[in-house]
């Protein structure tokens, strides 16, 4: 038993870790390649389970700073408990299902500012403070109805060619 433990530790020290590669563990876990996904999901699962309590602290402090002290603290605690639970469950699922081909888990954001919106997801606008999916209005625009001066889009029939 001792030899197996020493051998395992030696392999972990000698083998290049997933997080030392050019791609982050979050990107590796979402990879369609089984070898990258395998290690990425283990790494992401360990990180999420080990750091899930940080959401509680970060959300409580951020919401206390943004809102009135008592209300902001209570909102931050609620948000922190939800994000802590979500991150812990996501990490646990990653650790249990890392071996399943074609399943890449349920990723949460690597940032502790907003646990729900993955910051590296495709189609996201990462320039703003809170990333919003592409197609959502920016802060400068609004969700108003189209003006009457804007012509309605024309619907064309599909063209079929041989």
- Structural domain for 110, as ranges: 23-118
In a domain, 130, yes or no: no
pLDDT band at 151 (very low <50, low <70, confident <90, very high): low
- Whether residue 11 is predicted with pLDDT greater than 70 in this model: the reply is no
CA dist., res. 127 & res. 134, Å (int)? 11
Report pLDDT digits (tens) over 54-101.
999 999 999 999 988 799 999 999 999 999 999 999 999 999 999 999
Q: What is the mean pLDDT of residues 89-118?
A: 88
In a domain, 146, yes or no: no
In a domain, 104, yes or no: yes
In a domain, 95, yes or no: yes
In a domain, 141, yes or no: no
**Contacting residues for 3 by C-beta, under 8 A, at least 6 apart:** none
Domain count, the chain: 1
Please give the residue that has the higher pLDDT: either 158 or 12: 158
Give 19-88 as a DSSP string.
GGSSS-HHHHHT-SSHHHHHHHHHHHHHHHHHHTHHHHHHHHHHHHHHS-HHHHHHHHHHHHHHHHHHHH
């Amino acid at each position: 038993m001792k030899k197996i433990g020493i051998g395992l530790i030696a392999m972990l020290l000698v083998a290049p870790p997933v997080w030392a590669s050019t791609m982050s563990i979050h990107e590796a876990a979402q990879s369609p390649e089984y070898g990258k996904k395998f290690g990425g999901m283990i790494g992401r699962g360990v990180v999420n389970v080990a750091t899930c309590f940080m959401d509680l602290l970060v959300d409580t402090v951020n919401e206390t700073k943004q809102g009135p002290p008592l209300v902001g603290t209570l909102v931050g605690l609620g948000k922190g408990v939800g994000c802590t639970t979500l991150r812990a469950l996501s990490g646990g699922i990653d650790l249990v299902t890392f071996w399943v081909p074609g399943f890449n888990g349920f990723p949460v954001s690597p940032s502790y500012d907003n646990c729900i919106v993955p910051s590296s997801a495709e189609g996201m606008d990462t320039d703003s403070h809170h990333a919003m999916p592409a197609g959502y209005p920016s802060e400068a625009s609004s969700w108003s109805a189209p003006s009457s001066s804007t012509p309605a889009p024309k619907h064309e029939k599909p063209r079929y060619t041989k």
